[in-house]
């Protein structure tokens, strides 16, 4: 699809993807399936940059018994193309485990297994990706006052490379969130680094961990640390009364449907807010009921046996976390009485969630040409394309960071397969028109939340 450019132009693609997590792996697969269907003339050319040295999906949380929170049928392809060769079922077949998996009668594979599936899928499209390349700049290529291309600079060690594209798909994922003023150290962790840090503790025989938070990651950390360190006490500190179960019932689960994206996108602001309030408990600050039950059973058993290692400090918060050479001294404040109790620990783990990376941050000058609403949120079309100044004719698409316009699936896997198909359709459709006549987002194509 790319028109001819001068010989000295950087390598030029129809699309550059920033990040190669599940979202952009799915994008690469959708592209390769599209290109296999159409002739060479209509093929969409693409390149992806990933800063990690190889594919990795939340490696720090690949706890061996943790399971997926989404059906395996919501893999990278199936909801878009049920006959795709990149499905989880094809992966199982290739590993010789299809029948064994079916006999297990579960929709929810182990997280380590889904990671292996992602790696298997990513490996089949890795001719399109440069690993170990962090995108550090995006610059507009201005000709006659208009921008039809952007130059993307990626750094790998001391080297930088520049590639040019007519479309960008930003899939840079989530960033760990720490409470204001709390820095990560060797003894103060975010749960995202659990497995990369924990081995170093084996020699030191830790006696106490504090885990802050009441969501799925927090509960998983509590269960894991208790199991891994049989002599250590694990204190869970959270402001709730107890862990709350994730609502994964069938009707509520429809909030993750592809159609729900249309409804959410069209709904007025107030209804968007209500939908999030009603159904936030399908995903946020909630825990799988099986894990809640397990933790409760363990705590009760410890009580009966008189050897309590699990402590739940509920309706509480952690204040004054101070690191000493061999400990962390924290203070637990009861939100009921205000009483403050000192607590020495080997490690404090903050399981305090994640936030989307600011997509515009990475876009630099190009980001300044993208429109924001009066709350500073990016304005996005239904096809996930950012609304921009008229002179910016290239497409900038977001995978993630669109919860305010497209709803709860924005940063989840549930809708990834369908979303990448929609982005690809938009790119193909726009590519078939001369750039100068391409439509800008009409008012009714921009979410009413904006
Ligand atoms: C522990 C955990 C478990 C989860 N489990 C589920 C689940 O079961 N079901 C579900 O639906 N969701 C789950 N999620 C939500 C999660 O957001 C998605 O699973 C998924 O990671 C989204 O994929 P992504 O590609 O958009 O983002 P990511 O997986 O975060 O990938 C983004 C990639 O971009 C790369 N990157 C970032 N900046 C740059 C840059 N400047 N240059 C180059 N590369 C860059 C990163 O290195 C990363 O590889 C889970 C999240 C966590 C933390």
What is the set of domains in the chain, with CATH numbers? 12-173+357-445 (3.50.50.60), 176-246+284-353 (3.50.50.60)
Backbone φ and ψ for 381, nearest 5 degrees, come out as -80, 170
The mean pLDDT value for 401-414 works out to: 96
Residue 15 reports pLDDT greater than 70: yes
- pLDDT confidence of residue 441: 47
* Structure-token pair, residue 393: 């004719």
**pLDDT (tens digit per residue) in 331-340:** 999 999 999 9
Q: How crowded is residue 176: how many other Cβ atoms within 10 Å of its Cβ?
A: 18
> Reduced to 3 states, what is the DSSP secondary structure of residue 164?
strand
**pLDDT (tens digit per residue) in 157-188:** 999 999 999 999 999 999 999 999 999 999 99
- pLDDT confidence of residue 6: 59
- pLDDT confidence of residue 203: 79
How do the residues of the chain divide into helix, strand and coil, expressed in percent and rounded to 5?
A: 35, 25, 40
The Cα–Cα gap between 384 and 415 comes to 13
Would residue 164 be called left, alpha or beta, if left means φ above 0 and alpha means ψ between -120 and 50 degrees?
Answer: beta
The mean pLDDT value for 339-344 works out to: 96
**pLDDT (tens digit per residue) in 87-142:** 999 999 999 999 999 999 999 999 999 999 999 999 999 999 999 999 999 999 99
Share of the chain above pLDDT 90, in %: 89
Ligand 1 center–CA 444 separation, angstroms: 30
| Spatial contact of 412 and 280, defined as CB atoms under 8 Å apart | no
- pLDDT confidence of residue 139: 97
Which residue's CA lies nearest to atom 51 of ligand 1?
A: 58
- pLDDT confidence of residue 445: 43
- pLDDT confidence of residue 39: 83
- pLDDT confidence of residue 1: 56
Ligand 1 center–CA 339 separation, angstroms: 39
Give the max Cα distance, the chain.
78
Q: Which residue has the higher pLDDT, 10 or 436?
A: 10
Q: What is the pTM of this model?
A: 0.95
The mean pLDDT value for 294-319 works out to: 97
Task: Give the atom of ligand 1 at the shortest distance from the alpha carbon of 399.
Answer: 26
Ligand 1 center–CA 47 separation, angstroms: 19
Going by pLDDT thresholds of 50, 70 and 90, the confidence category of residue 200 is confident
Residues within 6 Å of ligand 1 by CB: 18-24, 49-52, 57-58, 61, 68-70, 134-135, 171-174, 217, 354, 362, 399-400, 411-414
Burial of 252 (0-12, 13-18, 19+ CB in 10 A): middle
Mean pLDDT of the chain: 94
Residue 436 reports pLDDT greater than 70: no
Going by pLDDT thresholds of 50, 70 and 90, the confidence category of residue 3 is low
CA-wise closest residue to 169 among 54, 35, 14: 14
Which residue's CA lies nearest to atom 15 of ligand 1?
A: 412
Going by pLDDT thresholds of 50, 70 and 90, the confidence category of residue 401 is very high
Residue 444 reports pLDDT greater than 80: no
Which residues lie closer than 8 Å to 147 by C-beta, 6 or more apart? Answer: 140, 141, 366, 369, 391, 392, 393, 394
Which residue's CA lies nearest to atom 28 of ligand 1?
A: 173
Residue 446 reports pLDDT greater than 60: no
Relative to beta strand 328-334, strand 316-323 is: antiparallel
Ligand 1 center–CA 226 separation, angstroms: 27
The Cα–Cα gap between 135 and 260 comes to 32
Q: Which of 413, 417, 418 to mutate for ligand 1's pocket (most ligand atoms within 8 Å of CB)?
A: 413
| Spatial contact of 356 and 401, defined as CB atoms under 8 Å apart | yes
- pLDDT confidence of residue 442: 41
Residue 395 reports pLDDT greater than 90: yes
68, 254, 355, 238 alpha-carbon torsion, rounded to 10°: -70
**pLDDT (tens digit per residue) in 37-93:** 998 889 999 999 999 999 999 999 999 999 999 999 999 999 999 999 999 999 999
Ligand 1 center–CA 356 separation, angstroms: 10
Share of the chain above pLDDT 70, in %: 94
Ligand 1 center–CA 182 separation, angstroms: 23
Q: Which residue has the higher pLDDT, 398 or 8?
A: 398
Residue 341 reports pLDDT greater than 70: yes
Residue 440 reports pLDDT greater than 80: no
26, 80, 432, 359 alpha-carbon torsion, rounded to 10°: -40
The mean pLDDT value for 413-438 works out to: 86
């Amino acid at each position: 699809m790319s028109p001819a450019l001068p010989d000295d132009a950087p390598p030029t693609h129809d699309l550059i993807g920033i990040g190669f997590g599940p979202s952009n792996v799915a994008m690469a697969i959708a592209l390769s399936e599209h290109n296999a269907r159409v002739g060479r003339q209509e093929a969409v050319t693409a390149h992806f940059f990933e800063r990690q040295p190889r594919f990795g999906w939340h490696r720090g949380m690949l706890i061996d018994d943790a399971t997926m929170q989404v059906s395996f049928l919501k893999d990278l392809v199936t909801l878009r193309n049920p006959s795709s060769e990149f499905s989880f079922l094809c992966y199982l077949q290739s590993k010789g485990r299809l029948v064994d998996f079916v006999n297990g009668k579960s929709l929810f594979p182990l997280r380590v297994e889904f990671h292996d599936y992602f790696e298997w899928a990513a490996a089949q499209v890795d001719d399109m990706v440069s690993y170990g390349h962090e995108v550090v700049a995006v610059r507009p290529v201005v000709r006659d006052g208009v921008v039809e291309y952007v130059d993307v600079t990626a750094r790998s060690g001391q080297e930088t490379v520049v590639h040019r594209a007519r479309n960008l798909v930003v899939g840079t994922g989530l960033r760990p969130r720490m409470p204001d003023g709390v820095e990560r150290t060797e003894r103060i962790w975010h749960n995202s680094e659990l497995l990369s840090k924990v081995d170093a503790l084996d020699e030191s025989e830790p006696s106490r961990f504090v885990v802050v938070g009441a969501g799925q990651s927090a509960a998983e950390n509590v269960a894991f640390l208790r199991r891994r360190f049989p002599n250590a006490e694990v204190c869970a500190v959270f402001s709730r009364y107890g862990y709350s179960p994730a609502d994964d019932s069938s009707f509520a689960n429809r909030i993750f449907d592809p159609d729900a994206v249309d409804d959410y996108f069209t709904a007025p602001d107030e209804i968007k807010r209500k939908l999030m309030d009603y159904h936030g408990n399908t995903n946020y600050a909630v825990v799988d009921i099986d894990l809640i039950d397990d933790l409760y059973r363990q705590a009760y058993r410890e009580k009966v046996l008189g050897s309590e290692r699990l402590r739940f400090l509920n309706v509480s918060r952690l204040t004054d976390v101070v690191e000493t050479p061999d400990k962390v001294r924290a203070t637990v404040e009861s939100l009921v009485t205000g009483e403050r109790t000192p607590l020495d620990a080997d490690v404090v783990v903050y399981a305090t969630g994640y936030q989307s990376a600011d997509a515009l941050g990475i876009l630099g000058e190009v980001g300044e040409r993208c429109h924001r609403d009066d709350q500073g949120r990016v304005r996005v079309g239904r096809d996930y394309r950012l609304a921009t100044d008229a002179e910016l004719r290239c497409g900038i698409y977001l995978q993630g960071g669109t919860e305010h316009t497209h709803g709860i699936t924005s940063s989840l896997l549930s809708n990834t397969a369908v979303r990448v198909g929609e982005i690809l359709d938009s790119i193909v459709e726009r590519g078939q028109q001369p750039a100068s006549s391409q439509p800008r987002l009409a008012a009714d194509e921009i979410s009413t939340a904006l």
